[in-house]
Amino acid sequence: MSQNLCRNIRLLGLCLIIIIGMLILLLFFQGRVLVVGPDNEFTTIQAAVDAADSGDIILVTGEGSPYVEEVSIMNKNRLKIIGIMKPVLDGMDALTFAITIEDSSNVKIKGFVIQNYLSNGIRLINAESNTISCNTIQNIGSTDIEPAGISALNSLENVMTRNVIMNTLRGIVVAQNSDSTLIELNRCISSEEDGIFIDGSNNCTIKGNKTTRNGDDGINIIASNNNVIKCNTITKNDDDGIDLTDSSNNLIKGNTITNNDDDGVSLERDITNFNQIIGNNISNNMVHGIFLVSDTNNNIIRKNKIMRNGDDGILVDTESNNHTIESNLIQGNIGDGILLDGDNIEGPSFNIIIRKNNIHENTGDGIEVNTFSNNNTITKNNVLRNGENGILLDANPESGASFNNLVNKNTVNHNIRDGIRVQGASNNNILEANKVTRNGADGIFLDLDSFDNQVDFNCVFFNINFDIEDLDSNTFNGNRCGNSVGTNVDCGN
């Protein structure tokens, strides 16, 4: 008796919701309202879609769940399919696609649970200006070329918002010239591969999403330009937080990128240029905070917090040039704060500006400029309390030099070893107007085989060994220091 009463009350409530919803819709929309569910005109979603005209609304009730079907929406425009009380579409591990929108525009899909399909939860093909919102998509298999919770192929200006996608091969896939897609406020959790994957699509906005515990990258972008990746939370993924490959003019701004098993942000390949990484929290990742891989150029890294990563805060690899690294907080990383690694003569790293960064308490050097890293500018940085040298210009005299670097107007204090160290074949560099105090070894040290360096107008005091030590033949002018070693050193006393 009580069970029947509860069922009747539930049915009555559902009927009231439908009636009120229909009245509201009839007041504001000119199309028909079609209802899917037990004791209604339609018992399958596909039947209602087939009967619908442009501008119609299809209400799908939860009472008819599970709906075991594949829904195809082809050549339909301005159609709204709305779930009432979270109806379930279930592929029963036998059906391939839950909902396909093809050659259609301005279709809205909202409020469903979609599960147990072999390939895609919702896919868009040649579809424009559609909205996919407030759905839960889970347990989707991997039999299609682009399997995902939601995928868009050759589709423009679509919106994917407030969906929860979990236990799929990929969470969201946007590919094949699916330009101007908005991916906003979704949760992509525990996919086998990437949380969000963009391939060959431009001018997309990826904003306010959470991608976590995915088997590959949190967000992976390939051959895609002019995209905005903003205010996302990207955490605990098995590879990089954000990975850009062959992609240019993208903005990565205001994201929280933490606890990923590889790099926080990785930029790769020779046409990954003119990207901006601004104002992100990039912390506690297993490898580098930011990794600019070989052949990337003209990227900007500004105003980020790069902290407690498992290797270098920022690594700029071989033949990676013309970057600006500015106004970042780089603290507590296990490797160097910033490492410029030219590596070989065929692929030097040059014309990199490192300016106005706070580089504190990293386990390695604050800033290291390695072999074949030339013509770089290191200026106005605060380099404090790092575990090795504050600033290291390092080259291998047997394999190649590091030269024509400008190190000026930096504050270099309280580092465990030398404040500024020039070693190997590091030649023709300028050390100018730096304040170098209270470091654990020398203030400024120039090693054998490092010659023709210009050391001018530095203030170097209270370092444990010598304030300035020169073991080769370098030029000094206008420095102020307490004590020194070297034929040409003049402390201005």
Residue 4, pLDDT > 60, answer no
- The tens digit of pLDDT for each residue in 434-482 reads 999 999 999 999 998 888 999 999 999 999 999 999 998 899 999 999 9
Strands (E), 75-231: 80-84, 88-90, 97-102, 108-110, 113-115, 120-125, 131-133, 136-138, 148-153, 159-161, 164-166, 172-175, 182-184, 187-189, 196-199, 205-207, 210-212, 219-222, 228-230
Q: Cα(121)–Cα(117) distance, rounded to whole angstroms?
A: 7
Q: So what's the pLDDT on residue 25?
A: 47
Amino acid at 428: N
Amino acid at 39: D
pLDDT score at 417:
98
Per-residue CA distances from 358 to 194, 284, 289, 327, 367 (Å): 33, 18, 15, 7, 11
In the prediction, which pLDDT does 341 show?
86
Give pLDDT, residue 90.
98
Per the structure block, which two tokens stand in for 286?
Answer: 């297993």
Q: Coil, strand or helix: which one is 320?
A: coil
CA distance 200 to 327: 32
Q: How far is residue 259's CA from residue 280's CA, in Å, rounded to a whole number?
A: 14
Rounded CA-CA distance 87/70 in Å is 14
The two three-digit tokens of residue 320, written as one number: 């990676």
User: pLDDT tens across 304-340, in order?
Assistant: 999 999 999 999 988 888 999 999 999 999 999 999 9
pLDDT digits (tens, 9 = 90+) for 115-149: 999 999 999 999 999 999 999 999 998 655 557 99
E strands along 158-226, which residues?
A: 159-161, 164-166, 172-175, 182-184, 187-189, 196-199, 205-207, 210-212, 219-222
Domains of the chain: 336-493 (2.160.20)
CB atoms within 10 A of CB 164: 17
Mean confidence (pLDDT) of the chain: 92
490 Cβ contact list (under 8 Å, min separation 6): 476, 477, 479, 484
Amino acid at 291: F
- Look up the pTM and report it: 0.92
Contact 74, 98 (CB under 8 A): no
How distant is the alpha carbon of residue 464 from its chain centre? 42
H or E stretch including 281? Answer: strand 281-283
Q: Does position 398 have pLDDT exceeding 90, yes or no?
A: no
Report residue 397's pLDDT band, with 50, 70 and 90 as the boundaries: low
Instruction: Name the pLDDT band for 26 (thresholds 50, 70, 90).
Output: very low
CA nearest 129: which of 90, 182, 171?
A: 182
Instruction: Please give the C-alpha separations between residue 461 and each of 84, 96, 170, 424, in angstroms, as whole numbers.
Output: 74, 72, 57, 25
Residue 295: which pLDDT band, with cuts at 50, 70 and 90?
confident
> In the structure, how many helices (H) and strands (E) does the chain have?
2, 58
